[in-house]
Amino acid sequence: MFKNDTIRLIVQFRTFDGNKVTPDDVKLTIYDKQENVIQEITYGLSTDGLGKYEYDYTDSTGKDFIFEYSGFFNEKRILARESVNVKFN
């Protein structure tokens, strides 16, 4: 990813058995590499209704970041986290 590019951040929530699940109260949090919150996103997340969520994110900082999708399933927190490296063009 390059600075000011738009990247689609995707998650597919699953149980430990690999079954797709749709959690409640899903949000997307963007962190910097020092784990400081840059942005929390709760609206505008696209879903297929089967636990897959997408969001088109444009980073203007030009710095590497971490994204985390989280929610609740069976009254327990569920999350997926990944880092993105930003390159300069």
State pLDDT tens for residues 19-64: 999 999 999 999 999 999 999 999 999 999 899 999 999 987 888 9
Residue type, 31: Y
Q: Are 85 and 7 in contact (CB under 8 A)?
A: no
- Residues near 55 by Cβ (< 8 Å), separated by ≥ 6? 8, 9, 28, 41, 44, 45, 46
| Confidence check: pLDDT of 76 > 80 | yes
Burial of 46 (0-12, 13-18, 19+ CB in 10 A): exposed
Residue type, 87: K
